[in-house]
Structure 1
């Protein structure tokens, strides 16, 4: 859990430090804008942007029942963020597994990627796909039951 929040917290600390310097130089607008940028970056790299994660075993069980894909991801991954943002509201129809919280999910990703924890890795009908095109993923979500 701690590892997922390390990057966002460090971004907030760095942003607060940089903004404080600008505030002390009597440049409040620049400080406020800089602080806002760091807060937005922290939010984007935090687990808050993603739908609630479940365990890999539960996600695979649910996927077997309704045919929805399973996404294995980790906080701070730019490719995972790109996929999540490009999916929009359809992202809620997928099952998301945070590999930093779920060892079974991390193991499945390592098996699918020759020992690497490359994410996002999708599991569609039991078959893994590493870093797929978001348009293709939208098609898979639309075609699932």
Structure 2
């Protein structure tokens, strides 16, 4: 899905322009590196592998782990993912832009809005939870 990559592609393009117009001085190289890191963090590559909503619900019930609904470019999702560090792989991540059933579930618990991150632990939803709280749930 192209909109998933827009922000990351823009950052890569800006980094290339900075390098090409900066004559590879220290400032332009540092700026380009920071832009490339930002591009990676805002890309889907920063998040664990996406699964569909039905699989996520089934696996979460079997393994007893949370399901995190997210979307690319969401700063709150990025903050949550960054705070969880390696524990993020213990949760199941569902990209709502790739799964209409996931979008419907998020809208259902958020008054019709696609507010993410929305975390389900069992049947209980938590909209934009404190990242430290979720980290404690993933012990």
TM-score by length of 1: 0.90
**CA positional deviation for 1:42:** 0.4
Aligned counterparts of 2:82 and 2:38: Cα–Cα separation in 1: 14
Please give the residue correspondences for 1:1-145 in structure 2 after superposition, counting only pairs within 5 Å.
1-23=1-23, 28-142=25-139
CA contact (8 A) 1:75 1:98 kept: yes
TM superposition shift of 1:19: 2.8
**Is the CA contact (8 Å cut-off) linking 1:3 and 1:100 kept in structure 2?**
no
Asked if 2 retains the 8 angstrom alpha-carbon contact of 1:51 and 1:91, the reply is: yes
Q: Which has the larger radius of gyration?
A: 1
2: CA distance, partners of 1:2 / 1:69: 28
How far residue 125 of structure 1 moved from its aligned partner, in angstroms, is 1.0
User: 2: distance between equivalents of 1:127 and 1:47?
Assistant: 26
- Cα distance in 1 between the residues matched to 2:21 and 2:60: 50
TM-score when normalising by structure 2: 0.94
- Report how many residues are paired: 139
Aligned to 1:122, the other structure's residue is in SS state strand
What residue ranges of structure 2 are gaps of 5+ in the alignment?
A: none
**Aligned-pair CA distance for 1:15:** 2.0
